[in-house]
Structure 1
Amino acid sequence: MTGSKFVYVTFIRTTPEKLWSALTTPEFIKQYWFDMVHEAEWKVGSPWKMLFPDGRVADAGEIAEFDPPKRLAFKWRNEWRPDLKDEGWSRCVMELEPAGEAVKLTVRHTIEVENSKFIDAVSGGWPKILSNLKSLLETGAVAMSQK
């Protein structure tokens, strides 16, 4: 593949159904995604957007795949930084696989731009978000706050 990609794999001690719910329930997402609000109908083809706490649109796109509790994919574009928005559409795929007492979560974020500034940006954000998600599901508390 030409372009840029970010891949992150983590194992979370939970069930695929609970992890799926955590990935698709806006009130739960807000807890581990630093108060960002996600709006979607959670079906293929529906618009999706992520809003800052003040209501500004951070990222937007559409649901590309929706296969509970196995696979979720987004067509995704940054909407608030012109240099990132200019790179165009990316694709984010989340795959869930049972792994004994845990679930293997693989997040792949790709774009058809070499040396993408967008992928560089998400490479710093995804580990924090997914660490919070893992901690919240396993302990009931996030690992880090926005501040």
Structure 2
Amino acid sequence: MTKETTSFVYVTYILSTPEKVFEAITKPDVARRYWGHENVSDWNPGSEWQHVRANDERTVELVGKVVEIAPPTRLVITWAGASQAADPASYSRVTFAIEEYDTMVRLTVTHDELEAGSGMAKGVKQGWPAVLSSLKSFLETGRGIDLSAKPKSA
């Protein structure tokens, strides 16, 4: 029996260049400034990547492999929680498509092959909008947003 899957697609427009957007995703010292994590890899097809919390503990929270890379317009990686790394069925896929769009960049992030109803699918639905908003703010203003912010009470 195959698992039911779901996908998440997020499109945002950023006043930046494809090179800067690609660098913000793949360079650990840049990603930590808007994501609070570093994406660590040598970024070659087939190579492993790790999503490492940018604090003293340096906890590896996500893992995967580089499926496809074509700087500065495309990156495809597999994605799983570090605690589920040994289970091939736990992996999903993330595609970053970076396109020049007039004087800006259109970034489309597609996270698919997610198990429907899973904790990962729920986390992705909440996490990507905040992370990508922070990326946009960082590239446009030099400052990311507070990813730990909570809604104010009504």
Corresponding residue of 1:105: 107
Tell me, yes or no, if the aligned pair for 1:6 and 1:109 is still in contact at 8 Å: yes
Please say if 1:47 is aligned against 2:42: no
Partner secondary structure for residue 115 of structure 2: coil
Taking only the aligned residue pairs, the percentage that are identical comes to: 35
Q: RMSD of the TM alignment (CA)?
A: 1.9
Structure 2 stretches lacking a partner, 5+ long: 150-154
User: What TM-score comes out, normalization by structure 2 length?
Assistant: 0.84
Amino acid at match of 2:136: K
**SS at the partner of 2:109?**
strand
Name which one, 1 or 2, has greater alpha-carbon Rg: 2
Which one of 84, 90, 93 corresponds to residue 91 of structure 1? Answer: 93
Question: Out of 110, 133, 136, which is 2:135 matched to?
Answer: 133
Q: Which amino acid aligns with 1:24?
A: T
Structure 2 letter corresponding to 1:72: L
Q: Deviations over 1:116-146 (max 9, x none)?
A: 3312111111111111110111011112254
Determine the C-alpha separation between the residues in 2 that align with 1:87 and 1:25: 28
- Give the TM-score taking structure 1 as reference length: 0.88
**Superposed counterparts of 1:10-89, under 5 Å:** 10-34=12-36, 36-52=37-53, 53=55, 54-80=57-83, 88-89=90-91
User: Structure 1: which 5+ runs fail to align?
Assistant: none
Aligned residue pair count: 142
Contact residue 90 and residue 110 of structure 1 kept, 8 A: yes
AA partner of residue 100 (structure 2): P
Distance in 1 between the 2:17 and 2:144 partners?
18
For 1:97 and 1:37, the matched residues in 2 are separated by 23
What stretches of structure 1 move > 6 A for 4+ residues in a row?
A: none
Work out the CA distance in 1 between the residues paired with 2:12 and 2:97: 11
Q: In 2, distance between residues paired with 1:65 and 1:86?
A: 18
